[in-house]
Amino acid sequence: MAPLATASVRSDTDTVTTRSHLIYFSSTSENTKRFVQKLGRDAARIPLYAHDAPLQALEPFVLVLPTYGGTNGEGSVPKQVIRFLNNPRNRELIRGVIGAGNTNFADNYCAAGDIIAAKCNVPHLYRFELMGTPEDVDRVNQGLEKFWTLLSQK
């Protein structure tokens, strides 16, 4: 299994920094964590608890986040992700979003990805359910390769 968050180091300002190009949030049910592990890429996890040291990105990244909301979009973005993106340096470095969710939520499927994409003016690159299928893993890995290649040519 690929290591997660190997690029993260604790700095003396009590912030965890990361050079990972993939940053994700996953709650205690850890579906998103399992999906990210299957990608086999270096990735950093947004901390779960308010007392955890905040995460600071140092390189451009794609954010993977699940939706937690009802049917009207209210509260769809996990508060840990809001905290992470309230840091202007993190907002500056986000380049795209991958949404996780469950199609049972119908119109609110992956709504958090839509909200972050609109707020940060970045593309919502992909949506997947729960911990993703092998096809999702292949498509995301291929898509990320293309995405970063295109961005590096700009």
Ligand X SMILES: Cc1cc2nc3c(=O)[nH]c(=O)nc-3n(C[C@H](O)[C@H](O)[C@H](O)COP(=O)(O)O)c2cc1C
Which spans of this chain sit near ligand X (rule: CB under 6 A)? 26-27, 29-33, 66-69, 76, 100-102, 105, 108-111, 130
Residue number, 9 or 118, with CB nearest to ligand X: 118
**64 Rama sector, left if φ>0, alpha if ψ -120 to 50, beta otherwise:** beta
Q: Which backbone phi and psi does 105 adopt, to 5 degrees? A: -85, 5
Distance, in Å, from the CA atom of 123 to the CA atom of 111, rounded to the nearest integer, reads: 13
Residue number, 37 or 148, with CB nearest to ligand X: 37
Task: Tell me the closest approach of the beta carbon of residue 93 to ligand X, in angstroms.
Answer: 22
Task: Tell me the closest approach of the beta carbon of residue 36 to ligand X, in angstroms.
Answer: 9
Residues paired with 136 in a beta bridge: none
Task: Tell me the closest approach of the beta carbon of residue 34 to ligand X, in angstroms.
Answer: 8
* Residue count of the chain: 154
